[in-house]
Amino acid sequence: MNLRAHGRHKSPANVPAPGDSVLPADPVAAGVAGSLPPADLQLPAPARLALTAGWNLAESLALPVGAYIAGERLGGQGAGMAAATAVTWLTAAARKMLTGSVPGLLMISGLVLTLQTVLVVATGSVLLFLLQFPVANLALCILFARTAPTGRPLVAQLATEVVALRQSSVAHPGLDRFFRGTTWLWAGIFAASTIGLAVLLVIEPATVFLLLSTVVTVAGVVVGTFLSILLFVRMMRRSGLRVCFGQA
């Protein structure tokens, strides 16, 4: 005799019924397209990364230098400093109107140039013109040091803007410590540059000082960049973070 079940068979708990949407319990673990593991960092494709960094550096460095050279040839040092400052703030205003925000590197450039221009234009003194170099480094030292112990260290902001570094919404302790430590590192580098330039200003003639100030500035940037990269690699190894590059 054939026996027929008079009720519907119950589906196993892990088998979805017809019509139910099938969603993984953990989209990250399931490899949902476009998402990253919480501990990963994302950078744009190398070509786009170079374009983003180059654009930010051009705005904050190349444009002011070009404006200074043009202004200096037309009206002297004061005119050159005023032209560089004006171009920087005009660029910041254009950025604000077009994107709704102003990059931190551009703001730093504008503030430092404004301080330098005030010293040069207000006095016309050669000594104060030379004094602008250690004063500018001191201002950068204070700026980095003020943000280092806060929840928004300046290096973190610059990494987001200059190289378009992206991380998950969940803050990673190792990455947070790296940004704070690196911000203190740059504050120390600018402090050392301030002291070195102040000593050179006292013991060297103006022409030699201008040459050595360039050497000190470039050396500080190179050393700071090298140490920052070393600290970043060390942090990644200890924290198990991975850097992922986006598609071109």
- The secondary structure of 74-118, three-state, reads HHCHHHHHHHHHHHHHHHHHHHHHHHCCCCHHHHHHHHHHHHHHH
**Which pLDDT belongs to residue 246?**
64
Q: Poorest-confidence range of 25-29, 172-176, 199-203, 204-208?
A: 25-29
Task: Name every residue whose Cβ is closer than 8 Å to that of residue 174 and which is 6 or more positions away in sequence.
Answer: 235, 238, 239, 241
146 and 65 part of one domain? no
Domain final position from 124, 147, 180:
124
pLDDT value, residue 168: 57
Q: Look at residue 181 in the predicted model and tell me its pLDDT.
A: 92
- pTM of the full structure: 0.66
Residue 66 and residue 62: Cα distance in Å, rounded? 6
**pLDDT given for residue 231 in this prediction:** 87
Residue 11 is given by DSSP the state P
Could you list the residue range(s) of the whole structural domain that residue 76 is in? Answer: 42-124
pLDDT tier at 183 (50, 70, 90 boundaries)?
A: very high
- Mean pLDDT, rounded, for 79-100: 88
124, 156, 171 — which closes off a domain? 124
Q: Would 171 be classed as within a structural domain?
A: yes
| 205 found inside a domain | yes
Same domain membership, residue 153 and residue 119: no
Whether the Cβ atoms of residue 235 and residue 159 lie closer than 8 Å to each other: no
Is 115 a domain residue?
yes
pLDDT tens across 115-156, in order? 878 877 777 667 777 887 888 889 889 989 999 988 888 888
Highest mean pLDDT, choosing among 4-8, 13-17, 111-115, 198-202: 198-202
Mean residue pLDDT across the chain: 76
State how many domains the chain has. Answer: 2
Residues 225, 206 share a domain: yes
User: Distance between terminal CA atoms of the chain?
Assistant: 68
Assess if residue 166 is contained within a domain: yes
Cα separation, 175 vs 241, whole angstroms = 9
pLDDT of residue 237: 82
Residues 132, 107, single domain; the answer is no
Round to whole Å and give the CA distance between 106 and 79: 20
Q: Is residue 74 part of a domain?
A: yes
Phi-psi region of 147 (alpha: psi -120 to 50; beta: other; left: phi over 0): alpha
- Are residue 173 and residue 208 in the same domain, yes or no? yes
Establish if 76 belongs to a structural domain: yes
For residues 133 and 226, state if they share a domain: yes
What is d(CA 242, CA 248) in angstroms, rounded to the nearest whole number?
A: 19
Tell me which range, 54-68, 183-197, 226-240, is most confidently predicted by mean pLDDT: 183-197
Structure tokens at 104: 């931190």
> Which strand ranges, in their side-by-side order, compose the sheet holding 41-43?
166-167, 41-43, 243-245
The mean pLDDT value for 91-97 works out to 89
How far is 246 from 191, CA to CA, in rounded Å?
37
Do 93 and 116 belong together in one domain? Answer: yes
Q: Are residues 57 and 146 in the same domain?
A: no
pLDDT score for 26: 37
Q: Is 104 found in the same domain as 85?
A: yes
What percent of the chain has pLDDT above 90?
12
Same structural domain for residues 82 and 129?
A: no
Boundary-marking domain end, from 124, 145, 176: 124
The count of C-alpha atoms lying within 13 angstroms of the C-alpha of 172, restricted to the half-sphere facing its C-beta, is 20
54 and 150 together in one domain: no
* 136 and 51 within one domain: no
In a domain, 8, yes or no: no
Q: Is residue 24 part of a domain?
A: no
Does pLDDT of 36 surpass 70?
Answer: no
CB under 8 A, 24+ apart: contacts of 232-239:
232/178, 232/182, 235/174, 235/175, 235/177, 235/178, 238/174, 239/39, 239/172, 239/173, 239/174, 239/175
Q: If you average pLDDT over residues 83-101, what whole number do you get?
A: 88
